[in-house]
Structure 1
Amino acid sequence: MPLPFLTADRAFESADDVALPFEDRDRWRRPYRPGPWRVGMAALWLLLASFVLFAAVIIALTGTVTGAAMVFAVALAVIAGALRLLRMGVWVSPHGLRQVGFLLTRTVPWAQVVAVRTVQQPVRWLGLPRTVQGQALTLVQRGRSADDLPMLMTTANADFLARTEAFDRAADAVEAWAAENTRG
């Protein structure tokens, strides 16, 4: 079964094409692949879910059905969390820019976007409280102060840790979408 959210559009990877290649223009797309840290963490969660599902089968065969159902529900929650972890990131479409977090998704229409910029600043390492010096892709919106720029992605998050070239390509792709859709 293909998992389209795991792969970025192949068209974004070739430098010979136009800035904004697309097959279906109205589809939301992530212009980069998920990083190895994100995929590895999701794989560990799915491994944990397989053990929990195995435990649910053993409980169903030897214990009560309600206990097995509760353990099965925990396994489904872990699987849903792993899939949500894989969907996290920045997505673009002609409608706007979408930042998908683990619990919260924020969509900003292109009409509210002033600019998307890459800046050098302290960023959180893998989302933890520890900060390191790195680059961040920030979103400048109408009606928001310059001090309150949300970071869309950083060189130290789970997608781009130790992959600065991938961050540069992804930032260029998002900036190209912003430039194309905020003209006028």
Structure 2
Amino acid sequence: MPLTFLTADRAFDEADDDVSLPQDDVNRWRRPYRPGPWRVGAAALLLLLASYMLFAAMIIAFAGALPGAGACAAAAAAVITFALRVVRLGAWVSAQGVRRVGLFSTRTLPWQRVQEVRTAQQPVKWLGLPRTVQGEALLAFPVSGEPLRPLISDHNADFLGRPDAFDTAADAVEAWAAEYRR
């Protein structure tokens, strides 16, 4: 049996360079870094929990208690939604501005309203928990002067234990700001 998914990379390498990829679109929101292992691991554990909940819902449904199965399936859907939101957390950029996606809220700041984007040494949350440690954070300063929460920090779930990845991501966001803030 041919494994066609293994040949996809070779087909991509042989394609013309003139082909425009969707991620080349500057108006599309993108995260300028990969999700970290802590974030991916937390989402994977939540999805594992959701699979057990769905399996339990199936067993409950076969037992004949449909309202209980529905409640269990709804709870599993909520856990799946939460896991997807956990993966989406972080800083996103596009030609329109910078977006900080939080667990329960998202804030977008157009580049025209950004005065400066820079890193600073300050107390940061460790893995998003209430405990703070001394670390480095990427901050966006709006023209209006109202302080924003850090876009990313070196102790969040994407960069804990990966200082080089934090530096690369901070440089990428600063480059986007320098390019589109004009």
Say if 2:26 is the partner of 1:25: yes
Show structure 2 runs of 5+ residues with no match.
Answer: 1-22
TM-score by length of 2: 0.85
TM-score by length of 1: 0.84
1:94-113 residue pairs with structure 2 within 5 A? 94-113=95-114
Identity %: 61
Distance in 2 of aligned mates of 1:88 and 1:121: 21
1:1-184 residue pairs with structure 2 within 5 A? 23-145=24-146, 148-183=147-182
Show structure 1 runs of 5+ residues with no match.
Answer: 1-21
Following superposition, the deviation at residue 150 of structure 1 comes to 2.2
- Aligned to 1:127, the other structure's residue is in SS state coil
**Aligned length, in residue pairs:** 160
Structure 1 stretches of 4+ moved >3 Å: none
Following superposition, the deviation at residue 64 of structure 1 comes to 1.6
Match of 2:11 in 1: none
Q: Determine which structure has more spread, i.e. the larger CA radius of gyration.
A: 2
Match of 1:19 in 2: none
Distance in 2 of aligned mates of 1:101 and 1:34: 14
Letter in 1 for 2:144: G
Deviation per CA, 1:125-182: give whole Å up to 9, x if none: 111121111100001001124xx34211100000000100000000000000001111
